[in-house]
Amino acid sequence: MLDLDDNARERELAAIAGRTARIHRWLVALLAASAEQPGEDLSTLFERVGQAAQKDAVSRHEVTLAPDTRVGAWRIEHAVGHGGMGTVYKARRADGAFEMEAAVKVIRVRRAALEERLTMERQLLARLSHRGIARLIDGGSTGDGHAFLVMEWVPGRDLDAYVHDEAPALGRRLDLFEQMASAASHAHQRRVVHGDLKPSNVRVNDEGAVRLVDFGIARLLEEGEASGESPLRALTPEFAAPELRAGESPSTQSDVWSLGAMLYWLLTDSLLQSRAGPIHGESLQRSIPRRDDLAAIVARATAEDPRDRYPTVFGLIEDIRRYRTRMPVEARAPTRLYLVKRFVDRHRFAVGMAGAVSAALCLALAGALWQAHRATVERDRAAAQTERALMAEAESTQLAGELEQVVAFQAAQLSAIDVRRMGVGLRTGIAARHRESMARNGMTGPALQERDLEAQRMLARVNFSDLARDALQDNIFENALESIDDQFADQPLLRARLLQTVATTQRAVGLERQAGAPQREALAVRREMLGDQHPDTLESVNRMGQQLMAEGSHDEALAQYRKALAGLEALHGPKHPETLTALSNAGIALEAMGRYVDAEPNFREALQGRREVLGPEHPDTLVSMSNMAALFDGLERPAEALPLYREALGTRRAVLGDDHPDTLRSISNLGVFLAGEDRFDEAEPYYREALAGRTEVLGREHPETLVSTNNMGYLLVNTDRLVEAEHHFQQALSMSRRVRGDQHPLTLVAMNNLADLLHKLGRYEDAEALAAEAVSGGRQSLEDGHWYLGVFLNRQGRELAALGRFDEAEAVMLESHGIFVEAFGAEHGHTQVVVKSLADVYASWHEVAPGAGHDEHASAWRARLINEE
């Protein structure tokens, strides 16, 4: 700039002013200073100007507030931190309106318009309602004109202090990252960016839950610059995207970069800016598994060009989840070798089994897959030839109809997939090829029989339904999705139909997480092309509800079901089968949320309508019958529930057969009911039949099989077979983490059940750690007031009491009691369980601290019990 003549310099400054007003002002100041000291060395000049500016800023804007100073409605207690933006104080509400702690940040700047902008900003930030985001509560100006912001007080430690103190393992670090990224994603969906994501703006409480602070402040402080007011930027260079350091405004893409930089920091304990060169696997510690995948994720998130980053924070989160489930990550090129490596990584046992039996088994498996692949290729070639012939002969007016037939055929083929039949065929084919291989090698008689039995024993340890499901995902569904995108890119409605079929089929075979992307895309396309009230759109809305239920988002699922119900009722009337399905689904969502009374009208109307329209033995009618039984069970009306459970099971056995998934569901439901009535001897045969059937038909890792594995553990605990129970609970939790994710509601239930068992085994510290994880996960993934959280809190309270931490136990158990009273009322069985727990805890507390009034509390809570034995 100094080398330019006056005219050129003015033109360059004008161009910079149009892009970034702040940099323009800095340059003008530097140029003016250089004119005053023309002979001064440039580096010395920069240092002198910077020091002078800093000294001037501090002298003009530094604010120190003494304890008991009144700031608006808040009274300062003490300073808790200092930064480039100002000083943070802990404060309490001082006007007597209510009791509340808060963090007050006094900004080192005087701005006439800041208070007005604060009002607008609070309205914008009011959109944010997420457990991982600290709320902006208040704001205004001090008596001398300095701006202040009042934020929710978040107890705990900054992320950097937490990581330094706790040295968490990789899995825990990724948990922390997912929590903070999820909070940022929530804000982005509501058009709010953070702009200054860094470890000191992430708080971690004692339970390990993450909260982001200072949301929206970066933009708030920037808005005064256009008017020429003194700039004050919330910016930490080590975690700021390149475009922010260049003076551009915060954006969702700059937040993606900052999250990528924090991920690198979490993985390496070092700053991204401190390294030179590209990021690759060797950049991370050798102890990190599949480190090339994580390095690729970091590299994509922190790409120099925002267009090369993940388009959304959610995309970054999804890739982290793919890494954690050993799936191929999107940040890496999907080469054949890479995809094969990830498949082997996910199925080490199956691959090891094949090698242990013999090389012939490997060849047999490869041959079976090759035959399936060849059949697919030949079918596709024939379909393509047929389609080309039709297109050559058909008139343009007939083409759409012909293509629709092809799509209908392909959709029918996908929806007819039977995982069990595929698994049986795979097992039979491998066994037959093994025998053939041994015979070709000259083995006969007893030797051949012995080797055949050995192979059969090895094969019996492999669940071929699981293997078939994984093969479907890797070889059929992924290829189908690629083909849909390639072949139907210019025909969005046909693409949406196939995407919907893929998503529905994936859910049916137990690939619920993988079904999310095609389900969401199918719904989005149909909404855009057809509008909200078209029958196809309403189908996808209803299916979206099913996807959200599978993901554990019951409140969001209910909203989708209600949209579908309103549209279908207007379109078809109240008695149409599709309307009745949406009505029933809404009841299922309400029941899952513990709102049994609200669910009853839905279930009654659906059952009556299906009996009239479909008949008493139709599968949908039997679903409604089973739902009605579960509702009566939840309402504690067992005399009405049991006959319906038995009728639904008997009819399903007769109509569908013993091994149909719906029949297995009825078997499981009846067992759960009997166990809930403490009739464990009667329940056990049903539990074992459901678990064996689901393992055989659906596979060990199918979500419904995981439910049966968990249920079996529960029954074993209640019949004092604790060692056997631990095996089932550990297996259920491990597989649920892998299949559903760590914070899925049913994963949290598995944690809670294992914690209960560990308590019975006297392993209180292990039990409390699991219970705390369940509570933390529940606070983040469940809707407010969900009764599951009450269960988890009660369990944590019992563990804390067992460890002698009675004051902590009291707090969480009182919270649990409040949730159950709100959800079910004071006399419901769930609520009574917590009442008894509280009475027991106070009694135990009295034993170690007599004379403190705990015995009186115990008596008061025991008096609330309706049927104390």
Q: What is the mean pLDDT of residues 785-802?
A: 91
Q: 211: which strand partners?
A: 203
pLDDT for 339 equals 64
First to last CA, the chain: 88
Give the CA distances from residue 786 to residues 596, 673, 791, in Å, rounded to whole numbers and listed in that order: 13, 22, 9
Mean pLDDT estimate for the chain = 78
Q: 9 pLDDT band (50/70/90 cuts)?
A: confident
Question: Which of 362-366, 463-467, 851-855 tops mean pLDDT?
Answer: 851-855
pLDDT for 369 equals 38
pLDDT for 195 equals 85
- Measure the CA–CA gap between 564 and 584, rounded to whole angstroms: 11
User: Looking at the predicted structure, is the pLDDT value of residue 217 above 50?
Assistant: yes
Lowest mean pLDDT among 562-571, 646-655, 729-738: 729-738
pLDDT for 273 equals 74
pLDDT for 670 equals 92
Count other Cβ atoms within 10 Å, centred on residue 791.
24
Lowest mean pLDDT among 371-385, 414-428, 696-710, 828-842: 371-385
Q: 696 pLDDT band (50/70/90 cuts)?
A: confident
Give the CA distances from residue 306 to residues 245, 346, 801, 848, in Å, rounded to whole numbers and listed in that order: 13, 33, 51, 61
Question: Which of 95-99, 110-114, 731-735 tops mean pLDDT?
Answer: 731-735
Question: Which of 109-113, 293-297, 455-459 tops mean pLDDT?
Answer: 293-297
Nearest partner of 774 among 159, 756, 204, 762, judged by Cα: 756
Please determine, looking at this structure, whether the domain spanning 169-209+234-332 carries the CATH number 3.40.190.10.
Answer: no
Q: What is the mean pLDDT of residues 684-709?
A: 87
pLDDT for 5 equals 72
pLDDT for 20 equals 56
User: Looking at the predicted structure, is the pLDDT value of residue 416 above 70?
Assistant: no
Q: What is the mean pLDDT of residues 399-416?
A: 45
Q: What is the mean pLDDT of residues 225-254?
A: 72
pLDDT for 624 equals 92
Q: 137 pLDDT band (50/70/90 cuts)?
A: confident
Residue-wise pLDDT tens digits, 259-274: 999 999 999 888 887 6
Please determine, looking at this structure, whether the domain spanning 742-862 carries the CATH number 1.25.40.10.
Answer: yes
User: Looking at the predicted structure, is the pLDDT value of residue 385 above 50?
Assistant: no
SS3 326: coil
The vertex-544 CA angle with 541 and 545, nearest 5°, equals 95
Q: What is the mean pLDDT of residues 118-143?
A: 71
Q: Is 678 exposed, middle or buried (0-12, 13-18, 19+ CB in 10 A)?
A: exposed
pLDDT for 294 equals 92
Count other Cβ atoms within 10 Å, centred on residue 496.
26
- Measure the CA–CA gap between 19 and 27, rounded to whole angstroms: 13
Count other Cβ atoms within 10 Å, centred on residue 752.
24
| CB proximity list for 182: less than 8 A, separation 6 or greater | 130, 132, 317, 780
User: Looking at the predicted structure, is the pLDDT value of residue 440 above 90?
Assistant: no
The two structure tokens encoding residue 215? 């949301």
Give the CA distances from residue 379 to residues 243, 404, 429, 483, 691, in Å, rounded to whole numbers and listed in that order: 51, 18, 21, 14, 37
Contact 525, 493 (CB under 8 A): yes
| Neighbour-count burial for 400-414, b at 16+ CB within 10 Å, e otherwise | eeebeeebeebbeeb
Give the CA distances from residue 624 to residues 549, 596, 620, in Å, rounded to whole numbers and listed in that order: 17, 15, 6
Q: What is the mean pLDDT of residues 68-81?
A: 88
pLDDT for 35 equals 62
Q: What is the mean pLDDT of residues 683-699?
A: 88
Residue-wise pLDDT tens digits, 495-523: 888 888 888 888 877 788 888 999 999 99
The two structure tokens encoding residue 242? 């390149």
The DSSP-derived string for 165-206 is HH---HHHHHHHHHHHHHHHHHHHHTT---S---GGGEEE-T
User: Looking at the predicted structure, is the pLDDT value of residue 61 above 50?
Assistant: no
Q: 724 pLDDT band (50/70/90 cuts)?
A: confident
Lowest mean pLDDT among 147-151, 257-261, 354-358, 567-571: 354-358
SS3 560: helix
Written out in words, the top-level CATH class of the domain with range 70-152 is alpha beta
- Dihedral sign, Cα of residue 282, residue 288, residue 291, residue 295: negative
Residue-wise pLDDT tens digits, 630-656: 889 888 888 999 999 999 999 999 988
pLDDT for 559 equals 93
> Where in the chain are the domains?
6-61, 70-152, 169-209+234-332, 742-862
- Measure the CA–CA gap between 869 and 861, rounded to whole angstroms: 14
Q: What is the mean pLDDT of residues 142-148?
A: 76
User: Looking at the predicted structure, is the pLDDT value of residue 293 above 50?
Assistant: yes
**How many CA within 13 A on the CB side of residue 541?**
27
pLDDT for 120 equals 59
Rg over CA atoms, the chain: 32
Of residues 431 and 668, the one with the higher pLDDT is 668
Q: What is the mean pLDDT of residues 57-81?
A: 77
The percentage of the chain sitting over the pLDDT mark of 70, rounded to a whole number, equals 73
Contact 495, 488 (CB under 8 A): yes
Of residues 399 and 602, the one with the higher pLDDT is 602
User: Looking at the predicted structure, is the pLDDT value of residue 788 above 70?
Assistant: yes
Q: Is 554 exposed, middle or buried (0-12, 13-18, 19+ CB in 10 A)?
A: buried
Give the CA distances from residue 723 to residues 85, 139, 710, 728, 729, in Å, rounded to whole numbers and listed in that order: 57, 57, 14, 9, 10
> What residue type is assigned to position 98 of the chain?
F
Of residues 565 and 52, the one with the higher pLDDT is 565
Annotated binding-site residue? 575: no
User: Looking at the predicted structure, is the pLDDT value of residue 388 above 80?
Assistant: no
pLDDT for 659 equals 85
The DSSP-derived string for 611-654 is HHHT-TTSHHHHHHHHHHHHHHHHTT-HHHHHHHHHHHHHHHHH
